[in-house]
A and B are shown apart, each in its own frame.
Chain A
Amino acid sequence: MYTKKLGSLSFVATLFLISSIFALEPLGVPDKDEIEYPDDEEPTKEEVVLGKTLFFDTRLSINDQQSCASCHNPELGFSDGLEFSLGTMGEKVGRNTPQIFNLAWNVTFFWDGRAKTLEEQALGPIEAGGEMNMPLATLIPKLQKVKGYQKLFTAAYGENSINKENVGKAIAAFERTIVVDDTPFDRYMKGDKNALSPDAINGLALFQGKARCIQCHDGANFTDNSFHNIGVKGDDIGRGKFMPKNDKSLDGAFKTPGLRNILYSAPYMHDGSEGTLEDVVRFYNKGGNGNPNTSKLIVPLNLTEKEIMDIVAFMGALNQPLVIERPEIPKE
């Protein structure tokens, strides 16, 4: 009894030590008061309706074949189920489509963090050659001709407000409403001790302890918003592109994705190379795939089969199915 108590105390002490050394944010329920809205103002209902309509409208691609939702499909965890995304002309995009849950709390966007705001990010894939391939200089007059959009933009931003800034603002406003904060894990954190299975509770302890997941997946949204080379093989230097030329420390590093609703957005990693969450845990268990610039945080974990499955069970408790009703797209 005494030994057991001492053991649990030392486990808590170890977690405390790890947290204090690496300044980790505690896991928890996302706090909506912490969302930083542009100009500190929540979006209006009209702004969100406009943003949602734009998000699902294929007019935003050069050949009217692809909307934001083509890759960020709500039924596929706001992802597309593909290893690499496809552009509107069928081109293979260089990276896997990231899911977009709880981006309201994010501070850096895209796998390599090249966008500083959600508004900036929202316009990126629309313009990108090889993705939606739609120059904004072409998109704006196209939208201005649509009576339905004239009404929607006027309701959201006033007369004659169809411009690229407002397209980005509206899409970002809609994306900030895609919130996952009532998962079994959240209910467990609020005191419902039956919300998690014993396996998931053990998975939570492993997540914060032996499996070291929390080293990067910390905080209420399970991301440190930082960049790590986790050992995925490949030539893509990711964040390294944005560092000074003589600094190779982040070559092959990519942004830590949040884990809320992660179950729905397989496959995983920036290159979609891991098919399931179990594959992901096995990847980390062996200490990555041997990328020469792998972070020192990635080490073999020596997890047992039972422990691997418990961590997967815990990640299965981070999910909250969201039903996203499709908006009515203006016909003219």
Chain B
Amino acid sequence: MFKCILISVLLLAGSLTAQTTLKGSFEFAKKPPYGAVVLFGEDKSREGKAGSTLDQKDKMFSKKIIVVPKDSNISFKNSDMIDHNIFADDRDSKVKFDAGLVAPGNDAKQASSWAEGTIFRVSCKIHPKMRSYVAVASSAYFAEVEFDSKIRKASFEIKAIPDSLTKVNIWLPKYEKIEVAIKKGETKTVELKKPGKTTIYGKVTLTR
């Protein structure tokens, strides 16, 4: 009897806060960029909450793109066998810092006081081939999408999105930012462009 009531309550709660899944796919005309972030930017529930960790191993970052909430922090962890010195000097976003030399097994934290929507590149002063992008976003509903330079397509999924969130934001480093309104049952396709360019570099298709 108690079980029945509990299930009914849970079902009722579920119907009151209906949730959906967003599925999407990127397709590029040529070599894809490094990565993208797709998010429901209306939600900012992670602002000031737990930060993110970007690890380094085998002279590579663990992610090609990482989301960090605003007013939080990003930790640059060194799981490599050699020193690293992570820094940012991004002309587009004006983000500039030097996290200093980090020995194997240690980490360096950087406060994320940058504005919501900022995207910037991080690299290593010792190993300039290392590259990753940091996107400042406080939404709990996001996907970090990594692209393979040899594969022109990539797909992603964001689960358990409240129906109240209807606007999807798509951010790629050096690309025009996109905002698309999408409701349950809709499919939309948008083109990927760069600021000041007419070239269409690819498209992203969203289904909710």
Contact = CB atoms under 8 A, between A and B. Distances in A.
Interface of A: 21-23, 33-34, 39-41, 107-108, 113, 116, 224-227, 239, 242-244, 247, 249-250
Interface SS of chain A: loop
B128 A113 contact: yes
A244 B83 CA distance: 14
Given A33-B149, A108-B128, A23 B101 contact: no
Given A244-B100, A247-B85, A40 B33 contact: yes
B127 A224 contact: yes
Contacts of B129: 107, 224-226
Given A224-B129, A244-B85, A244-B100, 16 more contacts: A22-B81, A23-B59, A33-B149, A33-B150, A39-B194, A40-B31, A224-B59, A225-B127, A225-B128, A226-B127, A226-B128, A226-B129, A227-B126, A243-B101, A244-B98, A249-B83
Nearest to A255: B128
Interface string B163-196: 0000000000010000000000000000000100
A45 B149 CA distance: 25
Contacts of B59: 23, 224
Nearest to A113: B128
A34 B149 contact: yes
Contact of A250 (B31, B126, B194): B126
B33 A226 contact: no
Interface string B34-75: 000000000000000000000001111000000000000000
6 contacts: A40-B30, A40-B31, A224-B59, A226-B129, A244-B100, A249-B101
Nearest to A20: B58
A118 B80 CA distance: 29
Contacts, number: 56
Contacts of B80: 23
A244 B101 contact: yes
Interface residues of B, number: 29
B201 interface: yes
B203 interface: no
Contacts of A250: 125-126
B197 interface: yes
B58 A23 contact: yes
B60 A243 contact: no
A213 to B, nearest CB: 17
B15 interface: no
Contacts of A40: 30-31, 33, 201
Contacts of A33: 31, 149-150
Contacts of B201: 40
A304 B85 CA distance: 38
Contacts of A113: 128
B114 to A, nearest CB: 20
A252 to B, nearest CB: 14
Contact of A247 (B57, B101, B127): B101
A23 B57 CA distance: 9
B100 A247 contact: yes
B109 to A, nearest CB: 16
A39 B197 contact: yes
Interface string B126-155: 111101000000000000000001100000
A212 to B, nearest CB: 15
